[in-house]
Structure 1
């Protein structure tokens, strides 16, 4: 009985140990094999104890008595205790060795912990540095944002910004000022009460069109729209817009505005003025052609030039004027070169017409600036009727001159015939006949010179020089003007340096006798009339030197100051009741025609005027 109780107590203890081992199994990390051997060993010892207690049962005993082998002993001692304690030993061996391994693992773990600590410290420093850098960057971004906001709000350029498809839309102070608001808050409040940002547009469709264009990622440049100012007046504004992406993937837009109301008004006014100018130009009776100064290409024309030539505007624009309208004659327009210094000149030319014929015109060329570029403005006046009248006048003058020559020559010849009879024609009668002859010659010369001067002015006179006895010209003119000088009590003194004044074979010059007589008579008469009473006019005729002859006519008195610069120009006269201003003008034409030169010098200190003429020797 006692043995049975002891066996049961032993089994209870071993069962408790096994239960503890089983429950602690989940917490065992190291030496799992040793721990397994310990559990099996305890189970086998428990089995041996069970077999020891079971040996007391008669059923088991009877069963075992039939066999020669002592099964009880084998199961209890061999399998239970021997196997159990063997496994317990093995388990303890593994278990004890695991403590050494655990110590090594703990040392290695300590090293890893220290290493991880160092890495942690390093990472902590890196993280702290990155945190500091991030804080610095965030502070800089915040500063830049505040700076940008300040620039945006205080920018002198009106700016509108917002998100595409979303409200609200923001403006800066310059935008509100552009629309006439006292402050941005006033504009925002009024826009909010009026139904949103579309209220600042005159037409909502304009705002919707702009916002629709901002949905895509492309800039909108030069978009002009109509806004409404505070006082309700329409305002034309040009907007240049750009879009970008925000952090949430949306579309941000910035629009930079510019008030172009004045420009549009000026553009409209300019267009109106251009139409007015075009109407005026087309109504002018003058053909106008605008050329590019460098290329001489036709830039624009008016309607009269089209009517004059028969060309169309499309045919003329882009053509080179000198090759198309002027038949290759560039004598007028090409003379206005950049180095010339002149801004205007005119002349006659023939204008080519569409049918191949030519039209005589008066062409004027002036330098103008168009669109900041140098241009030439050519004006063409139809002078075909004037040319016809000039030809008619020329024919009439030629007929009159021809018809006058015959009776004048008859009168001169009659006087010469009467003067040949010295016995009958004497005294005053002889002087009268000489005067009639001289005046006849003068009228004959004047009739011939009328047409000649006109041709010289027009540049059509054909000069055929012949040797002319210049001293004979001087003698004849002195005889013609003798009565004029006597009536004004002026003495004419001829200084030739020798006796050539009476020689019929004296000094000879190249030209035509009629031209020299007209030139010398005009200059000498002008000097006689300008001299004071009892004054002296000196005529100095030089010798032929270096192919030229020098003639100098001096008289007392000076040329009036107001005509000194224009002394040889047409219709310039002063102090003469019957003066026409054609004498000196005609004299200069003659001198230039024969290839000479003429100058005038007047001295206030010496109270003297001299006219110097140089002509070619024969």
Structure 2
């Protein structure tokens, strides 16, 4: 016979089964289609019902599962835990716990079990156990745990600084190396905004780079300065990576690895300064400097671009070195390249070079080996010596002028005295004789010419003291024009004047300026034996200068003659002295002015620039 306790257990089991039968249709879907495994136990711990999911978890079919004792479904080390929570549920308490279950084929399954007491007529008649498979979740947690452990090992021992920040830039974590690199402890920087530690000059770029990382979800790399605890700044290279939720694809945080590159940056800055210094020296060198490899230009300075007549440097980069070397010097240029390739420097040597417009000029060229952009190259110096040659020519002309002055003084004094006596006796002879008057006139004319030459020689040897006064330039030109008009008309020449301004005054010696203008106009008339037009144009050149242009319509002068104008005793006229232009230049220069000459087949232009009187400069 069954005892009272056994009878109560049986009654409760019957109530449980009846309850399950009555509610089967109502809870069928919830029970059978549930994603979690469900197994129902009586108060004795016997399985009375399971759902399909539990069958798959345990490997037991429904009827077989009912025959399995509860303690046999779990490893022995979990049995006490399972029964502890089961008895708590029988007493009416909801229970939730994790454990492992042994399936029919012996595999272990990680479960999260929730025990729900079943009450019928105010009596606990059983327990509904809901088992959720957490095997994959625990595997992931284990992987995360291992990663966290590895992360901790790395961050705690790595020399670089590792920082984790949230989307606002607030610091969530810093590695222990923060103390060594910045001097801060973790407690001093955690929860602080990371941008508060970035140098103000770098904060803007750092902000935009972080914004780019968050928008593109790609890794970022940048260099900036961060504040140390002692107030100094340290250069770091930062590599940051967004941590993304795999399900939502939202950024959870940003992890940055900061490497101290202060020493490297210092070396790079020093190298950059040396390079900039070298570049400045080369760029602003008065000599033209080229860096070349083979026939290719790698670098040129502004002086070089100007020397070659380039509007911009790109025009030179588009050509080769051989294009600017005169054909006569190509072979020697190749030989000098070989010398440089052997690591030796060459001496300065005169070369004929070709500008971009095709004109040829002479320059001294020196080459030496160098390194450019980490590759062997040639450092080439072109030194324009045209100005030096001009200076040498000027010195030579100056020496000629000095000799001419000394000679002129001697000739003038030695010849003038006997010439005076000859003229006196000639006048007596002319008065006493009525014959051969033509001869007397010819002799008188030639003697007058000798006196003219002597006067010019005396001006050359000892110029007269300038007597400056206010000169009305237009009136002066008109007076000169009046004097020369007769000679011009006799030679079929018409003199025209163009005055762009009125009442132009200068400070100067009226007589000497008149001598200059007469000389220029006489030369222009003689340059047009078949007649022509002389145009005198007067206009303001700037706020304090005036320009005079004398233009003729003659046949012009070739360049080799034009270059020699102003040299003492150089003339193209049969009866010329070669002193007129030279003295004219001297007079204009004494007036702080300049005179220039241009000539071609259409005629000659002489430009005279003089300073205006001060009161007339307003």
| Bigger helix share | 1
| CA radius of gyration, larger in | 1
TM bracket (short chain): 0.3 to 0.5
TM-score (norm 1): 0.41
| Bigger strand share | 2
